[in-house]
Structure 1
């Protein structure tokens, strides 16, 4: 009799442990889904090559800003940033003649900044940031708030 009760108790414990493990596995999976959903909200265009490039360009602009603030020469980013003219966007309708023109203007501002003497670094950097803002106000306003963080004080 005692043996049967012990066996019954072990089965119940086994079911409880199995249920607990299954519950934990599913709850952990839901956390991962939640993280991915939050990431998708942070970067809604995460897979588009143009969106990925723009995020890299922002990081480059932060480096450029530091160089300008310190009065140091600017590293060259032209070749990397030229890809904005050919990178595939999330919405193919973005690649208009106006987009191309603004992209070329951005690259011209970047080249001018990279070849600036120390006295013109700040002015040319401000021009570069303004070219980013002009384009994003027309095509993709989401990052405007973030781009404004690049402005010099």
Structure 2
């Protein structure tokens, strides 16, 4: 994968750069792929459902409204993502089981961690455009992530 800084130097006019600062939690700090999305708030049933389906190298962008009150991804969901061929997960919210997730060959970026589990009611939306800190992540477009940050196609 090309470093995001180099990619931005080459294609900056075609890309949006996410200014919000995420932490790297997964065993892979650099990852990219086509975007899939989930919008949910403190309820990870749809995240679990999507990551249990074939990922084919995609990256799931989860708009959890920036909530750090409960985790939207834990070690079991992350392991399911690996088993199903996902490249990574970007969570605008919290994860948990960060040590176990760090041992998995999966890119995981999130705002932070919280051991508290989330609800499982299935409230939210799948594969809709989500906007995080002014950057829109549209299903089917491409996203690149590494320790420098996150870029997506406009």
Q: TM-score, normalised by structure 2?
A: 0.27
Q: Which is higher, the Rg of structure 1 or of structure 2?
A: 1
Task: Identify, as 1 or 2, the structure richer in strand.
Answer: 2
Q: Which structure is higher in RCO with an 8 Å CA cutoff and minimum separation 6? A: 2
Q: TM-score, normalised by structure 1?
A: 0.27
Task: Identify, as 1 or 2, the structure richer in helix.
Answer: 1
